[in-house]
A and B are shown apart, each in its own frame.
Chain A
């Protein structure tokens, strides 16, 4: 089992060290081969866990497959490296290798002829290694280590086209924003480990242990210090998952190649935040009656709405998909936030994981399809596209499947997961339910706006006829489409739940009907606006006026951040620090060097070459020595 993260690591090292000798397509084949092995092993383990040996006495076991102590602080506080197998990590063990495998195969066709092919596969393998290590982590510190590794892989992959200035800037932005969020994570982690005395997940999620923590008297500004720790940890998760206000890096991360966007920014890395909250879910729920959990819910709900609104107006198809991702992750966070604990109460938890699973499938499919479209049309922008259903049949069908799935139309996967989320929200907090409900409609609308605009609008003048993607690109699309269509039928509640024992869910037809209804409404609106070429959308945009402008510019959040960092932080905080560093710290070092040189310049005058000076030193030395000797001898 330990082979699972180690094989991608080996591939990364192999391709990274020998990247001059191994060129395409051999490196691609090596990468794909490695991932194939990893995927097959992971699927086998996960499926046998769920169906075969995991279920003991009606409860899923948390199996520590491997654990070794790295740093030992006290008996309880140890940093260990290990592999934990429980329902949560088993689910991720299916999602991550599958998507990564599909992306590897897809990239054989997409990245063909690009410079840096080997480098691409090396970094993809590094990313897979980090993500697998993250989901199999045994304690929080190990998650933190792999968290950072994932960030680094993301940075290298976003900035893959390093000659393009915008790509480099986007990579820096992603890394810095997530690093800033990780600061919160680290502080929260340290506080948590200090007060709880342990890093270990099994201990931290033990209900009795949590009750003892609740009795901790230490508070800070009215909230228990553990709650603060959890909120800070959530801040780290929010950064990685692009929650408001730490979302600014995700749209810019689309500068990377499309397979990267599919793998990292749709299906796997951005769900790391959700994964973290789910891992620590008992703490979130039980510490101080779940105040931290409320924070999670509201942030998730706001982000969902925020992102969906912006996605309505964007023209770059990858940006639309990025905001869509943000919105769907908001759904996942929201679901976790409204969840309870225990059999049926834990519906939100289960729904969140279910949505993670299905979302990975159809979002990856959407991105890979977008990649095929971009590959055919050589442009990212909707305005350059139209009528592609005639030219790209396979892409068309798979894209349609994914769009239906994300809009929540039965019987595709998205319907089931989204319905569970809305059901959980309805039981808990009507306001949040209503937000989710509206956003479901908006999701359908912008998704089908995208679909119709690309595939149905009138044919523009194409410079050369767009051609269908090669087999290496279309086969992953078809596999993912299959998963997106049918994974809704997996009885997820049998596998994943808050207290590790399966429970039964059923569809509430009232709520389900409502959400399907609003989805269909969104689709119809999109048909109206976008199926045939017309200027209805432009007239609407003009009617909304200033509101449209705000939305189109992503509510100027980027500009706000720039203002804060450039005008306030750089000028007032960083500049003095830089000055201090350059003049005082460096000045001291240089001063020590310079003064040594200065002193030696002065001292070298002692060796003047004049005999008289030497005689002077001689006589004075002799006098002093004889004086000393005389006094010593006299005493």
Chain B
């Protein structure tokens, strides 16, 4: 049963992703991206990683997509369709991508992954304790680094985007 579900979601992801990168209308491309993100979060839910699924929906689907839509609205002439890409370029890019894909799949399928069946569910408290833990399994260092990164991003975004006072 879950298998069918998974395939359905997988196909949806792929189709929407493809349409996101080939559509000539900017708005539609972003909406397709939204659907892709929703699909990805449903995968997270399927493997019982509820926290990340929720974070994905909140941050990605809720925050970033809104950010995109806002900036598109700021840029005029966005309603007009983008110009067509030359076929040569599409073909060459397609070949490179397919080639890379083939290589990656080949690498994946020739490696014997040892999967372990287990029933551990990660709860939010586990995640929280891991994030701020500084013992063996503690990830407090990356946490601090990420917070500084976010601070820098915030400051940087404001610096870049503000207008000069005339």
CA distance A616 to B100 in the complex (A): 11
Q: How far is the CB of A616 from chain B (nearest CB, A)?
A: 6
Residue in A619, A626, A627, A630 whose beta carbon sits within 8 Å of that of B96 in the complex: A619
CB-nearest residue of chain B to A617: B96
Q: Is B145 an interface residue (CB 8 A)?
A: no
Query: Which residues of chain B (94-134) have a CB below 8 Å from chain A?
Result: 96-97, 99-100, 103, 107
**CB <8 Å contact, B92 and A616:** yes
**CB <8 Å contact, A626 and B103:** yes
CA distance A221 to B97 in the complex (A): 79
Q: Is A620 an interface residue (CB 8 A)?
A: yes
**CB <8 Å contact, B107 and A619:** no
Q: How far is the CB of A151 from chain B (nearest CB, A)?
A: 67
**CB <8 Å contact, A619 and B92:** no
CA distance A496 to B12 in the complex (A): 119
Q: How far is the CB of A289 from chain B (nearest CB, A)?
A: 86
CB-defined contacts of B103 to chain A, threshold 8 Å: 623, 626-627
**CB <8 Å contact, B100 and A623:** yes
CA distance A616 to B103 in the complex (A): 16
Q: Is the interface of A mostly helix, strand, loop or mixed?
A: helix
CB-nearest residue of chain A to B95: A620
Q: Is B93 an interface residue (CB 8 A)?
A: yes
CB-defined contacts of A626 to chain B, threshold 8 Å: 103
Q: How large is the interface on A (under 10, 10 to 19, 20 to 34, 35 or more residues)?
A: under 10
**Given known contacts A620-B99, A623-B99, A623-B100, is B107 in contact with A630 (CB within 8 Å)?**
yes
- What is the size, in residues, of chain B's interface with A at 8 Å between Cβ atoms? 8
Interface flags for B66-99 (1: CB within 8 Å of A; 0: not) read 0000000000000000000000000011001101
Q: How far is the CB of A127 from chain B (nearest CB, A)?
A: 74
**CB <8 Å contact, A623 and B96:** yes
CB-defined contacts of A620 to chain B, threshold 8 Å: 96, 99
CB-defined contacts of B92 to chain A, threshold 8 Å: 616
Interface flags for A514-548 (1: CB within 8 Å of B; 0: not) read 00000000000000000000000000000000000
Residue in A616, A623, A627, A630 whose beta carbon sits within 8 Å of that of B93 in the complex: A616
Q: How far is the CB of A629 from chain B (nearest CB, A)?
A: 11
Q: How far is the CB of B85 from chain A (nearest CB, A)?
A: 10
Q: How far is the CB of B5 from chain A (nearest CB, A)?
A: 33
Q: How far is the CB of A609 from chain B (nearest CB, A)?
A: 15
Query: Which residues of chain A (620-635) have a CB below 8 Å from chain B?
Result: 620, 623, 626-627, 630
Q: How far is the CB of A385 from chain B (nearest CB, A)?
A: 90
CA distance A326 to B92 in the complex (A): 84
Interface flags for A105-121 (1: CB within 8 Å of B; 0: not) read 00000000000000000
CB-nearest residue of chain A to B93: A616
CB-defined contacts of B96 to chain A, threshold 8 Å: 616, 619-620, 623
15 cross-chain CB contacts under 8 A: A616-B92, A616-B93, A616-B96, A619-B96, A619-B97, A619-B100, A620-B96, A620-B99, A623-B96, A623-B99, A623-B100, A623-B103, A626-B103, A627-B103, A630-B107
Give the 8 A-B CB pairs with smallest separation, nearest first.
A623-B100, A620-B96, A623-B103, A623-B99, A619-B96, A627-B103, A616-B96, A619-B100
A-B contact sample (12 more), CB < 8 A, given A616-B93, A620-B99, A626-B103 = A616-B92, A616-B96, A619-B96, A619-B97, A619-B100, A620-B96, A623-B96, A623-B99, A623-B100, A623-B103, A627-B103, A630-B107
